[in-house]
């Protein structure tokens, strides 16, 4: 057994972390912040269609905790969709299982920092890769006492 609280497990970083309604030009939009754990709950339950029990195992949390997490996540996404908020995915307490890399030049996303071929058509020869696990890190535990309490396991 691990300690009194465990960090949630997130398979890999989100590919994109900022969504804005395309019709808005102004920059004064309300912002809804979805934690990376909430994003992962949506990915597992709503995209992959896993049962809550199975999704909870993936994230190393209990099933009731997963259910609360997905309900909160869905509410936030619904509110952003209906009310036209900017949606930002960031933060929370979790560990990534693996990372993804993004080419800052053409935007290709790859599990390895290597171009996969198809994008080479438009001539991207960038050798710089952004590690998305570093780009979208968890909150640091030293300065997130509140987050720690909030995400505590029961």
Binding site for Zn ion (CB under 5 A): 103, 105-106, 108, 124, 126
Q: What angle do CA 98, 143, 77 make, to 5 degrees?
A: 60
Q: For the chain, where are the E strands, in sequence order?
A: 8-10, 18-19, 31-34, 86-89, 94-96, 101-102, 109-110, 130-131
SS3 state at 66? helix
88 vs 109, beta carbon nearer Zn ion: 109
127 vs 140, beta carbon nearer Zn ion: 127
Nearest approach, Cβ of residue 113 and Zn ion (Å): 11
122 vs 154, beta carbon nearer Zn ion: 122
How far is CA 88 from its chain centroid?
Answer: 9
Could you tell me which of 65, 90, 76, 22 has the C-alpha nearest to residue 153? 65
Nearest approach, Cβ of residue 107 and Zn ion (Å): 7
105 vs 153, beta carbon nearer Zn ion: 105
Backbone angles phi, psi at 63, to 5 degrees: -60, -45
Tokens describing residue 122: 């438009």
Nearest approach, Cβ of residue 132 and Zn ion (Å): 14
Nearest approach, Cβ of residue 108 and Zn ion (Å): 5
């Amino acid at each position: 057994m691990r300690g009194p609280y465990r960090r949630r497990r997130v398979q890999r970083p989100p590919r994109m972390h900022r969504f804005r309604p395309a019709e808005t030009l102004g920059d004064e939009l309300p912002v809804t912040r979805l934690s990376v754990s909430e994003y992962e709950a949506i990915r597992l339950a709503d995209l992959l269609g896993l049962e809550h029990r199975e999704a909870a195992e993936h994230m190393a949390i209990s099933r009731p905790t997963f259910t609360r997490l997905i309900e909160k996540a869905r509410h936030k996404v619904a509110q952003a969709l209906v009310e036209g908020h900017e949606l930002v995915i960031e933060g929370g307490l979790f560990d990534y299982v693996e990372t993804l890399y993004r080419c800052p030049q053409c935007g290709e996303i790859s599990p390895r920092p290597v171009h996969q071929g198809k994008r080479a058509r438009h001539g991207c020869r960038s050798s710089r890769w952004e590690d998305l696990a570093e780009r979208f890190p968890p909150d640091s535990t030293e300065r997130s006492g509140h987050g720690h309490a909030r995400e505590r396991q029961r």
